């Protein structure tokens, strides 16, 4: 069953506002979570690695001040898109690994479709 919960599934916001997306591991503790971005008809691109209790590690070209990541507990990571603009409209999806599971136990959330008007 689903072990990573992502909320909300979709959000529409006005340009200039901030949007928070939550990613929760439901039945395991995740010291590391990953945030990806996917444009229509394209592949998933890693944005950042979310580390519990420390700063996130951002991929090259991803604005740290634009995409704020907070991993305050072992089961929750949040991605905040600050001062969103239409070009931030995209599908955002998180993933997490069950450290007690086998290597392939890398679970994805159901994703969040963000539309900025």
Partner 1 sequence: AQKITQTQPGMFVQEKEAVTLDCTYDTSDPSYGLFWYKQPSSGEMIFLIYQGSYDQQNATEGRYSLNFQKARKSANLVISASQLGDSAMYFCAMSSGGGGNKLTFGTGTQLKVEL
Site track 1-30 with partner 1 (rule: CB under 8 A), x = hit: ------------------------------
Token pair 């394209």 is found at 42
| Closest to 109 (Cα-Cα) out of 60, 67, 64, 75 | 75
| Closest to 105 (Cα-Cα) out of 50, 32, 21 | 32
Helix (H, G, I), strand (E, B) or coil at 18: coil
Which window, 11-19, 67-75, 76-84, 104-112, contacts partner 1 (CB under 8 A)?
104-112
Among residues 14 and 102, whose Cβ is nearest to partner 1?
102
d(C-alpha 15, C-alpha 36), whole Å: 21
Nearest distance from C-beta of residue 91 to partner 1, angstroms: 6
Select the residue interacting with partner 1 from 69, 93, 114, 116 (CB under 8 A).
Answer: 93
Which residues are within 8 A (CB) of 63 and not within 5 positions of it... i.e. 6 or more apart?
none
Residues of the shown chain interacting with partner 1 in the complex, contacts defined by CB under 8 A: 34, 42-46, 49, 91, 93, 95, 97, 99, 102-108, 110-111, 113
């Amino acid at each position: 069953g689903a072990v990573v919960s992502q909320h909300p599934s979709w959000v529409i916001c006005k340009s200039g506002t901030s949007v928070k997306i939550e990613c929760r591991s439901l039945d395991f503790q995740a010291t590391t979570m990953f945030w990806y971005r996917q444009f229509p008809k394209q592949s998933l691109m890693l944005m950042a690695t979310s580390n519990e209790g420390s700063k996130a590690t951002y991929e090259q070209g991803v604005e740290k001040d634009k995409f704020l990541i907070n991993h305050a507990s072992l089961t929750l990571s949040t991605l905040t898109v600050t001062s969103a603009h239409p070009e931030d409209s995209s599908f955002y999806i998180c993933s997490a690994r069950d450290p007690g599971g086998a290597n392939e136990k890398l679970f994805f959330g159901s994703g969040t479709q963000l539309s900025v008007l």
